[in-house]
Amino acid sequence: MSVPLRNPTLATLFVAAAVIAHGGNAEAQRKPKPACGIKALPFIAGYQWVYAPVAPPEEVSAQAAKVAANKPKQFDKVTIKVASVEELEGRTEITLEEISEVDVEGETKTFTRTTKLSCVANALDVPPQSFFFVGEPGGTVKLEVEGLERNPEHHSYVFQLGTLRVPEWLENIKGKFARNSANDVELSLPGGSFDLQRIVKRGAPESITTLYGTYDATPVQVELVGSVTLAYEPPEEFSIPANTVNKLWIADNVGVVQVFNSNGHMFQLNEATLGDKK
């Protein structure tokens, strides 16, 4: 025969513990963990970020104009969606849908690109076609990369405990590429090869205010050096201009909240879908 609990305080504790345990499990189910435990760039299936253009500070815009004399038109809206996160042997693959929109003579042109990122614990690799490479959205040129080679000891982003704590790191990549016009844009563009180095430096946290909120964000400066060879006859090699510097501001559990790229374009987070927060 079971003996009822005589101590009401003890019974209350048992009931409370059961409620807490049940609630904790439900909370864990509602909040899935980001890919590879990376909180700084929380890639979770269904997450989405929308960026809008903003005017950059005059001094950095002037510097960018020297580097990108023939800069492309800035997009009016950039949307990044996490289509899927799949755990594979030894790594996790993240599939993104990156959508860029721009007004051309009163008509909205939309360019969509699917990119695949890869991560392991405290490291993330990003393809050159992705917005997260240097903060430049894809657009009228479809850059198809083939034979991408990476130094296995280098990564696009390096973390500690899933956050940006490493002060500086390098990434060396090279490969071949083809360039095709997107949608109804008619361009004849040669392919070629590239040999690039990303020199990445983390700065001190800054307060960044966007339409979506105000964040203590860590600035990540990405400088590109190296060369690109275009498949003309004969081939022509071009060095990456000096001071090709891009900057991304990243907030834990949110992701990229602001970017300024070497084309002189600045984008800020305008809206997002991050689990329960919209």
Q: What is the pLDDT of residue 275?
A: 84
pLDDT at 75: 93
The pLDDT score that the predictor gives to residue 234 is 92
Counting residues of the chain whose pLDDT is more than 70, the rounded percentage is 79
In this predicted structure, the answer to whether residue 194 has a pLDDT above a threshold of 90 is yes
Q: State residue 2's pLDDT score.
A: 46
DSSP strands (E only) in 68-125: 77-88, 91-104, 107-120, 123-125
Higher pLDDT, 17 or 202: 202
**H or E stretch at 141:** strand 141-150
Q: Is residue 250 part of a domain?
A: yes
* In a domain? residue 1: no
**CATH number, residue 214:** 2.40.360.20
Q: Region 169-186: what's the mean pLDDT?
A: 79
Average pLDDT value for residue range 223-248: 93
Residue-level pLDDT at 190: 82
Per-residue pLDDT at 69: 52
Q: Which domain holds residue 204?
A: 8-273
Start-to-end CA distance of the chain, whole Å, equals: 53
Residue 32 is predicted with a pLDDT of: 86
With cut-offs at 50, 70 and 90, classify the pLDDT of residue 11.
Answer: very low
DSSP-derived 3-state class of residue 58: helix
CA pseudo-torsion sign 198, 199, 204, 207: negative
**How would you write 225-276 as a 3-class SS string?**
EEEEEECCCCCEEEECCCCCEEEEEEECCCEEEEEECCCCCEEEEEEEEECC
Task: Give the residue with greater pLDDT, 65 vs 77.
Answer: 77
| Segment 209-219, tens digit of pLDDT | 998 999 999 99
Whether 266 maps to a domain, the answer reads yes
Q: Is residue 2 part of a domain?
A: no
| Tens digits of residue pLDDT in 118-171 | 999 999 999 999 999 999 987 545 678 888 999 989 999 999 999 999 999 999
The answer to whether residue 227 scores a pLDDT higher than 70 is yes
Amino acid at 192: G
Q: How many domains does the chain have?
A: 1
Q: 42-59: per-residue pLDDT in tens?
A: 999 999 999 999 998 776
Give the whole-angstrom CA distance, residue 111 versus residue 99: 6
The mean pLDDT value for 27-51 works out to 89
Any residues with CB less than 8 A from the CB of 27 and at least 6 apart, and which? none
Which pLDDT score, from 0 to 100, does residue 143 have? 72
CA-to-CA distance for 247 and 202, rounded, in angstroms?
A: 10
What is the total residue count of the chain? 278
Greater model confidence, 96 or 179: 96
Least confident segment among 74-83, 144-153, 176-185, 255-264: 176-185
The answer to whether residue 55 sits within a structural domain is yes
Look at residue 70 in the predicted model and tell me its pLDDT: 58
User: 40: helix, coil or strand?
Assistant: coil
Q: 14: alpha, beta or left, given left = phi > 0 and alpha = psi -120 to 50? A: alpha
Mean pLDDT computed over 225-243: 92
Q: Are 208 and 258 in contact (CB under 8 A)?
A: yes
Beta carbons within 8 Å of 271's beta carbon, 6+ residues apart: 50, 211, 212, 278
Asked, for residue 3, whether it belongs to a domain, the answer is: no
